[in-house]
Amino acid sequence: MQDNPLIKLALPIAIAVIMCGIGLTLRGGDFRRIAEHPKPVWVGVLGHYLLLPGLGFAVASLFPMSPELAVGLVLVAACPSGSTSNALTFLARGNVALAVTLTVISALVTFLSVPLLVNLALQAFGGQAREIRLPVGQTVLHLAALVLAPVLLGMAIRRFAPGFAQRVEPWVSRFSLGFLLLLIVAIAVSERERLPAWLAQLGPAALTLCCAAVGLGFLLGRACGLALRDAITIGMEVGVQNSTLAIVIALSLLQSPQIAMPGAVYGLLMYLPALAMVVLGRRAVAREEARTATVAGAS
């Protein structure tokens, strides 16, 4: 699957284009407000590095699978948030500035989380621990190319060509959703020969993990008193993982195609609860805005 041109080329290009569109909606003040009110960031870190790994170990223990597949599932949970989490947060009308911040933080913490959690999984499920090293340069370049540079470009366009940005912004959400759906379907079709076997082995476990991660991430945000848009963001950031990086680590560092399989299956199935969150999040935010407008009008 890692050799699929749709994954290697089309999906990263699509994400970069979408991230540039997201940058059109952001201002520097959005990030300053996060620095002034860091609670959502701490909740997101808690969800990503306590809640999600705990879910990974629990699901790997509860579902029958080989030790290699169990380690692969924990590897997915140890990886940073995927670039698509920012795009999906935008589509769900979450807090995009918070999403970008959490994606960057998770990528930085990955250098510690992946070796620690994968070695624990190898001890728990595989009987032995192997030291691994994360490809630091590749991870930094991946993050910069897919997240940072396109967002900065979009923000620059908004600052220096505000009229153009305002005209384009209403169409970004519709284009983004359609483009992502088309690519997901295309990837599933291109992998149709191997997909049934992968889904039979790992589908229930992977789907349970991603649904629990998105749902419990959202509930964690609300339980901690976060605003609706921030809680939507936490759900996306906890559940939408960089499965491509999980595949790369499994194949290049652990040299195990079996450990790579959960990343491939999770990378497809995670869009089901994520897109459900897009639909439910947009409706919830719209209702909240309508109530606020009604109260404001009445006063």
Residue pLDDT, tens place only, 249-272: 777 777 777 788 888 889 888 999
Exposure b/e, 159-174, CB count within 10 A at least 16 = b: eeeeeebeebeeebbe
CATH of 5-292, one of 3.40.50.300, 1.20.1530.20, 3.40.190.10, 3.40.50.1100: 1.20.1530.20
pLDDT band for 54, please (50, 70, 90 cuts): very high
The end-to-end CA distance of the chain, in Å, is 57
Mean pLDDT of 119-124: 84
Q: What tens digit of pLDDT does each residue of 4-31 get?
A: 555 556 666 666 776 677 777 677 776 6
The reported pTM is 0.76
How many Cβ atoms sit within 10 Å of the Cβ of residue 291?
Answer: 10
DSSP lists the bridge partners of residue 241 as 81
Token reading at 252:
């290049």
Parse the chain into domains and list their residue ranges. 5-292
Q: Is 71 exposed, middle or buried (0-12, 13-18, 19+ CB in 10 A)?
A: buried
Contact 75, 247 (CB under 8 A): no
